[in-house]
Chain A
Amino acid sequence: NAGVTQTPKFQVLKTGQSMTLQCAQDMNHEYMSWYRQDPGMGLRLIHYSVGAGITDQGEVPNGYNVSRSTTEDFPLRLLSAAPSQTSVYFCASSYSSGTQGYTFGSGTRLTVV
């Protein structure tokens, strides 16, 4: 049981490049979400999904896309990277959105130059 797996752990992008951050969980969790963490700002929700085929926007969705074709995977796509997207990204999952604590992945540290 690996929990929530995020890849890559580190990434450097040039402005304008696109990339996909991968997130996979093996706990059969329905709910998955992406957060970004910036100094002094806590964790801000980017996008979330309550089940396969269902996604919705969080607090800071601009510049990011998601899809949820399977229960296990919830990739986050940066369409055209900007320096403002330099951050640490965490994927989290839980059995349901309202009653369970989240299990977080180990994070992806992204730098956009």
Chain B
Amino acid sequence: GQQVMQIPQYQHVQEGEDFTTYCNSSTTLSNIQWYKQRPGGHPVFLIQLVKSGEVKKQKRLTFQFGEAKKNSSLHITATQTTDVGTYFCAGRRGAQKLVFGQGTRLTINP
């Protein structure tokens, strides 16, 4: 079946440092979505990428979809304590179901 792998599983940074999480699929994806889940909370939709090579920015967050549409990344510049949480990618192939990666848990030392 369709697999979406996400690395790293955990990342601890000092406040102000950058953070990146990577998402890789075994198959070509039609689109990829990113979600953030705060500790004790529920996943919240951040963004969707559809086009090959697409790059989107939300303030300090930069999302990228690979040229082959098999990988994606989320980069946070100058992390703040409000960025703490688990970041999930979720990929879809065609009309199939959305498959989530295992998530990257970000903790920040203030």
A75 within 8 A of B: no
B71 within 8 A of A: no
B21 within 8 A of A: no
Contact A42 B103 (CB under 8 A): yes
What is the size category of the interface that chain A forms with chain B? Answer: 20 to 34
Question: In the assembly, what is the distance between CA of A90 and CA of B48, in Å?
Answer: 20
Contact B42 A102 (CB under 8 A): no
**Secondary structure call for the A interface:** loop
Q: Which residues of A contact B33 (CB under 8 A)?
A: 101-102
With A42-B88, A42-B103 as contacts: A98 and B95 at CB distance below 8 Å? yes
With A98-B30, A101-B45, A102-B45 as contacts: A42 and B102 at CB distance below 8 Å? yes
The 0/1 profile, CB within 8 Å of A marked 1, for residues 74-110 of chain B is: 0000000000000010101001011111110000000
The residues of A with any CB-CB pair to B shorter than 8 Å are 33, 35, 40-45, 48, 58-59, 90, 92, 97-107
